[in-house]
């Protein structure tokens, strides 16, 4: 039985990331930061990132792949490591966080999702950041 206990606990080590909803209150956008890509993350970066509204891709030398959750004023709320996650797990995480996935990279975003993700229904949208601080809507891969 003692030999089986570590095997029973092993799946828990690979469980998907669970966000701290109190820490990410005010979530407004995200940024995927990458360096060299593992095969697990590469498909997500090359094929899925362009479909998400308010999610941009940024390459940083020496950085492990991370999802950086940002508030309305571009303040960093939380960093989520992506290195050990599968493409499906990353997509599910973004869905759980409230990011809107478009039907195509150039598809318009419905008005009710303009300020997604994770905005409480009925919550007034904040004023946008000053002109010089804007993040591009989409980066070409």
pLDDT at 10: 42
pLDDT at 9: 43
> What is the spatial distance between Cα 86 and Cα 90, in angstroms, rounded to a whole number?
6
pLDDT at 11: 45
pLDDT at 127: 53
pLDDT at 119: 54
> What is the spatial distance between Cα 35 and Cα 54, in angstroms, rounded to a whole number?
20
> What is the spatial distance between Cα 20 and Cα 57, in angstroms, rounded to a whole number?
23
pLDDT at 67: 94
Domains of the chain (ranges plus CATH)? 27-101 (3.40.30.50)
Query: How far are the Cα atoms of 60, 71, 73, 80 from residue 14, in angstroms, in the given order?
Result: 26, 28, 33, 14
> What is the spatial distance between Cα 127 and Cα 20, in angstroms, rounded to a whole number?
25
- Which regions in the chain score pLDDT beneath 70? 1-17, 21, 118-141
């Amino acid at each position: 039985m003692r030999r089986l206990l570590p095997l029973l606990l092993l799946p828990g080590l690979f469980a998907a990331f669970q966000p701290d909803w109190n820490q990410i209150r005010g979530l407004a956008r995200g940024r995927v930061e990458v360096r060299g890509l593992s095969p697990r993350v590469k498909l997500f970066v090359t094929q899925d990132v362009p479909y998400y509204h308010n999610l941009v891709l940024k390459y940083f030398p020496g950085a492990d792949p991370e999802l950086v959750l940002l508030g309305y004023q571009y303040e960093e709320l939380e960093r989520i490591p992506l290195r050990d996650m599968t493409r499906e797990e990353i997509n599910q995480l973004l869905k759980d966080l409230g990011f809107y996935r478009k039907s195509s990279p150039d598809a318009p975003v419905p008005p009710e999702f303009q300020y997604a993700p994770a905005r409480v229904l009925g919550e007034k949208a904040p004023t946008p950041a000053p002109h010089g601080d804007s993040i591009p809507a989409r980066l070409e891969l």
